[in-house]
């Protein structure tokens, strides 16, 4: 609506032009001035309402067009009424877009459960700048933090309040850049024994017998000693004492067989698809897909169906890599700095942490050797020496970096009895089950369990040569959505 609109008012007198803001006529009575407001509403509201609803309808149509046809449902009447009524009175495009998101979300069967009837009223209370701030949180990886503290009646904080926040909570969003396909393939050699992909500054070699990446060389440095390898085993922790161990998953990769390997050579990538079975009591099939790109990045995707008893649960779903021990430095963006798990992470906060592999091991020493040092909600991890390293990017992964294989913890009573591996172990997991509340029960809550069944996740391996970690993170995240 314009800041200056002249209207004609009749208050039992001859017509008088009144400038709504700038042409105030002091000769008019209070009743006349009030009447102008109502005339203004009657004349301008229908025009504003028609304009607003037309734009909202267009925005809703654009959003609904993105929904899978089988998921489109009729919106709930209460949502329609609240959204369109409130949207019809706003001039701000950013608010109209938010209303459109609510209405289209309610028409999406897979999203409807997340659409609350109060959303339309919440949007109504926002100004345009507030809406833009909320959009910024949604569109990027900023983590705004709310801190609540308690003061006494003298306005002073207690000793505890000076050191600890009573409540500290984070909100998360995502940001990614479009993937840029730099570099080129120099040579691709595919035979019965191996697949070799050579680029301008890298070489990747896979064994077709084991289905494992044997060499990942970038600028003359071998980034991996071995892997990625299947890893569904988590060494017993004190809280697992009540549960029977499933040793079918012990040293998972070596307890599995490759059944088929396929190579697909495309113009912009090379794919290696490895299929096999884990030797559980009932075979558990898996498919690992490696996609290599001309810039030296490798996307890894694991699809696995784990069969087992309903009386037990999985403790881990993931993969692990053997890394040259010279890569002592570990930098990660996730929850830390101490070990944390899906049901033990509210006191850990997402930040950029950096420490050596020795420091990570020393931070998580327990009286009895057991799985430790997990970090939740990890966006990326970089293991490196002073000049180069391996960079791994995913979506809220679980990660740990250690000098020890967890399989070496079993049957050991003291940490000094456990021998270090000749390499460092980088574990990249989709999930781990929760810890539960006591050594002999109760077990973890249902939402933190990891039942036997089908799982799928992916992550990206990148060469690191000292560049800005967040710039590399954003570029690699763009690759996550590339087929």
- Residue 178: what pLDDT? 52
In the block, tokens 């009743």 appear at: 31
304 pLDDT more than 50: yes
Contacts of 115 (CB under 8 A, 6+ apart): 79, 102, 105, 106
Q: pLDDT, tens digit, for every residue of 261-284?
A: 999 998 889 999 999 999 998 899
Beta strand 185-190 with 349-356: parallel, antiparallel or unpaired?
unpaired
Structure tokens at 326: 């010279």
* H or E element that contains 138: helix 128-139
Strand ranges (E), 54-160:
145-148
Q: Could you tell me the pLDDT band of residue 13, with boundaries at 50, 70 and 90?
A: very low
Q: Between helices 30-64 and 93-106, what is the axis angle to 10°?
A: 50
Task: Give residue 138's pLDDT.
Answer: 67
For 168-182, write each residue's pLDDT tens digit: 455 455 555 555 566
pLDDT of 119 > 70? The answer is yes
CA dist., res. 255 & res. 334, Å (int): 31
Would you state the pLDDT for residue 165?
A: 43
Residue 387 Cα to chain centre, angstroms: 28
Provide the pLDDT for residue 160: 45
Structure tokens at 226: 């071995």
Whether the per-residue pLDDT at 308 is higher than 90: the answer is no
Q: Set out the domains of the chain in order of their start, with CATH numbers.
A: 6-132 (no CATH), 209-480 (2.70.98.10)
- Which residue in the block uniquely carries the two structure tokens 């690992």? 288
Whole-model pTM? 0.71
The pLDDT of residue 150 is: 66
How high is the pLDDT of residue 2?
41
The candidate with the shortest Cα–Cα distance to 384, out of 326, 423, 320, 334, is 326
pLDDT of residue 157: 56
**What per-residue confidence (pLDDT) applies to 446?**
85
pLDDT digits (tens, 9 = 90+) for 133-171: 887 766 556 666 666 666 666 666 554 444 444 444 554
- Residues 245, 236: contact at Cβ < 8 Å? yes
Whether residue 240 has pLDDT greater than 60: yes
List pLDDT tens digits, range 182-229: 667 889 999 999 999 999 889 999 999 999 999 999 999 999 988 899
Concatenating the DSSP letter of every residue in 275-302 gives EEEE-SSS-EEEEEEEEE-TTS-EEEEE
pLDDT tens digits for range 63-101: 999 998 888 999 999 999 999 999 988 889 999 999 999
Kindly write down the DSSP assignment for every residue of 245-282, as one continuous string: --GGGTTGGGGEEEEEEEEEE-SS-EEEEEEEEE-SSS
Residue 45's pLDDT band (cuts 50, 70, 90): confident
Look at 10-14, 116-120, 412-416, 452-456 and tell me which has the smallest mean pLDDT.
10-14
pLDDT of residue 159: 46
CB atoms within 10 A of CB 380: 26
Rounded Cα distance, 36 and 444, in Å: 66
The percentage of residues in the chain with a pLDDT greater than 70, rounded to a whole number, is: 83
Q: Average pLDDT of the chain? A: 84
Select the more confidently predicted residue: 479 or 294.
294
pLDDT top residue among 290 and 470: 290
Question: At 357, phi and psi to the nearest 5?
Answer: -65, -35
């Amino acid at each position: 609506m314009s800041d200056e609109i002249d209207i004609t008012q009749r208050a039992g007198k001859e017509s008088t032009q009144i400038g709504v803001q700038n042409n105030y006529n002091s000769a008019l009575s209070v009743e006349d001035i009030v009447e102008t407001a109502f005339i203004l509403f009657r004349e301008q509201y229908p025009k504003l309402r028609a304009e607003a609803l037309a734009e909202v309808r267009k925005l809703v149509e654009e959003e609904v067009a993105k929904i899978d046809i089988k998921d489109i449902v009729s919106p709930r009447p209460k949502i329609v009424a609240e959204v369109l009524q409130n949207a019809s009175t706003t001039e701000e495009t950013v608010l109209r877009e938010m209303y459109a998101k609510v209405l289209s979300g309610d028409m999406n069967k897979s999203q409807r459960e997340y659409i609350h009837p109060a959303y339309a009223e919440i949007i109504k209370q926002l100004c345009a700048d507030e809406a833009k701030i909320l959009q910024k949180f949604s569109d990027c990886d900023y983590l705004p933090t709310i801190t609540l503290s308690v003061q006494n009646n003298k306005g002073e904080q207690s000793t505890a309040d000076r050191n600890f926040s009573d409540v500290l909570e984070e909100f998360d969003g995502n940001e990614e850049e479009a993937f840029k396909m730099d570099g080129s393939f120099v040579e691709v050699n595919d035979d019965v024994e191996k697949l070799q992909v050579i680029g301008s500054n890298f070489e990747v070699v896979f064994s077709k017998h084991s289905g494992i990446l044997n060499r990942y060389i970038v600028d003359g440095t071998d980034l991996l000693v071995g892997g990625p390898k299947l890893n569904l085993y988590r060494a017993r922790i004190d809280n697992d004492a009540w549960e029977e161990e499933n040793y079918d998953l012990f040293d998972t990769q070596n307890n599995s067989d490759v059944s088929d390997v396929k190579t697909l050579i495309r113009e912009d990538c090379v794919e290696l698809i490895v299929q096999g079975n884990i030797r559980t009591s009932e075979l558990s099939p898996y498919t690992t897909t490696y996609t290599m790109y001309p810039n030296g990045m490798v996307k890894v995707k694991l699809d696995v169906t784990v069969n087992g008893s309903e009386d037990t649960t999985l403790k881990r779903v993931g993969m692990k890599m053997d890394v040259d021990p010279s890569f002592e430095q570990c930098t990660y963006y996730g929850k830390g700095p101490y070990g944390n798990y899906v049901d033990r992470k509210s006191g850990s906060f997402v930040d950029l942490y950096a420490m050596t592999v020795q420091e990570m091991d020393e931070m998580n020493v327990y009286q009895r050797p057991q799985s430790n040092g997990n970090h939740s909600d990890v966006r990326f991890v970089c293991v490196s020496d002073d000049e180069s390293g391996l960079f791994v990017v995913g979506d809220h992964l679980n990660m740990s970096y250690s000098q020890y294989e967890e399989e070496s913890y079993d049957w050991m009573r003291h940490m000094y009895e456990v021998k270090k591996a000749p390499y460092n172990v980088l574990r990249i997991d989709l999930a781990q089950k929760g810890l539960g509340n006591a050594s002999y029960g109760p077990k973890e809550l249902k939402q933190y369990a990891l039942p036997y069944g089908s799982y799928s996740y992916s992550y990206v391996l990148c060469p690191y040569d000292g560049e800005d970690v967040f710039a590399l993170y954003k570029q690699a995240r763009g690759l996550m959505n590339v087929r």
